[in-house]
Structure 1
Amino acid sequence: MILGFLASHGGSAARFLTAACRDGRLNAVPVALASNNSGSPALAWAREAGLRTAHLSSAKYPDPDALDAAILAFLQDAGVDTLVLSGYMKALGPRVLSAYAGRVLNIHPSLLPRHGGRGLYGDRVHEAVLASGDTESGATVHLVTAGIDEGPVLAQVRVPVLPGDTVATLKARVQALEGELLLSALRALA
């Protein structure tokens, strides 16, 4: 398995999975990371980690079709066969989705299909969970399709929503389990 990553900010999933590959917990080779944010900490980390990197965004490619083509070319040139979205805050274009159908994974910080879809990311997800009165939350690894957070679920992990939880406490509990969940989903996909 040859892994590529798309990240908008810190790229915590990319960092976790790259470490898992290098210490033998995942039989895969991380090779590339692109970001839509030129100042992304993930880009700096990936360069230091020896991954091929690129800043690919609408600032460089105002035409969405051209951006889609550039992302696809970057991934294919690097030999990527499996793509992981590591906090990537943009929808993928049809070329990337077609070329990597069934091989693009995302982790979402809720038990999809609850609290997913356009506009529900980061702290907004945890705010929605708390506002709903749900007694549990968690994380979901799913395949990426054209519909935001609508792809087939590969794995989920559950955590209780505790009395007095805040966005920060719930988020920390969910995030603590995300890396291992993603790791197990990739192992099953291999």
Structure 2
Amino acid sequence: MVNIAIFVSGSGSNCENIIRYFSNRNDVNIKLVISNRADAYALVRAKNLNVESVVIPKSDFGKQTEVLNLLRNHEINFIVLAGFLLMIPDWLINAYPRRMINLHPALLPKFGGKGMYGHHVHEAVKAAGETETGMTVHWVSNVCDGGEIIEQFRTPLTPNDTPDTIADKEHVLEMEHFPQIIERVLQAEKLI
């Protein structure tokens, strides 16, 4: 059994999608949702789906012993970042080598790095006149959005697309593919 913690900062649509995808499995357990924001709607989604959630404010996220103890007490052996907007400290990356993945709403290495999250990404894609966008799932490293790419999915764009329609098109990819990518990673890493 693999116990997964999902780290979130916002509305949690991917979080809910992942919880639902694995809800009837006996080899994968979404055991914990962690948010750095107490007002993240993802916490409501987790509660509605009977998944425990914890808020660790940004000011407390650097407390290595407390965070690692929380994860160990819940027997977490894999972490999924699904719209988590804080940099992951090296000590946490080292504690979960090849056990932590991130979803980025663009085709890395383009439109990644500091400040490239949420709507900022889609605005940058539009400003660059890109003809396609997509999603990237990658291993978490100590370089923002710089970890080894696991999988990418693409969708075409038109000159008429706005940042909002770009976001909508990319989000469709996330809903369709992210849980399946997680499952494939767990299989490839022989965790299930």
Does the TM-score normalized on the shorter chain lie above 0.5? yes
Name the counterpart of 1:33: 33
Describe how 1:1-190 pairs up with structure 2 within 5 A. 1-24=2-25, 27-59=27-59, 61=60, 65-66=62-63, 68-190=64-186
One-letter amino acid matched to 2:83 = G
**Which moved further from structure 2: 50-59 or 172-181?**
50-59
Question: For 1:145 and 1:89, how far apart are their aligned partners in 2?
Answer: 14
Q: Residue 72 of structure 1: SS of its match in structure 2? A: helix
User: Is this contact kept in 2: 1:4–1:84, CA < 8 A?
Assistant: yes
Question: For 1:94 and 1:28, how far apart are their aligned partners in 2?
Answer: 26
Question: For 2:66 and 2:176, how far apart are their aligned partners in 1?
Answer: 31
Task: Give unpaired runs (5+ residues) of structure 1.
Answer: none
User: Is this contact kept in 2: 1:69–1:95, CA < 8 A?
Assistant: no
**Number of matched pairs:** 185
CA deviation map 1:23-62 (0-9, x unaligned): 45x9511000111111221122222322222111134x2x
Runs (4+) off by over 4 Å: none
Name the counterpart of 2:189: none
Question: For 1:27 and 1:10, how far apart are their aligned partners in 2?
Answer: 27
Question: For 1:38 and 1:161, how far apart are their aligned partners in 2?
Answer: 35
TM-score with structure 2 length normalisation? 0.90
Question: For 1:126 and 1:97, how far apart are their aligned partners in 2?
Answer: 27
User: Is this contact kept in 1: 2:4–2:80, CA < 8 A?
Assistant: yes
CA-atom RMSD, angstroms? 1.6
Displacement after TM superposition at 1:186 (Å): 1.4
Question: For 1:18 and 1:171, how far apart are their aligned partners in 2?
Answer: 22
Q: Residue 84 of structure 2: SS of its match in structure 1? A: coil
Q: Decide whether aligned partners of structure 1 residues 132 and 27 sit closer, same or farther in structure 2, where only a CA change above 3 A counts.
A: farther
Question: For 1:161 and 1:27, how far apart are their aligned partners in 2?
Answer: 38
One-letter amino acid matched to 1:179 = M
Task: Give me the identity figure in percent.
Answer: 29
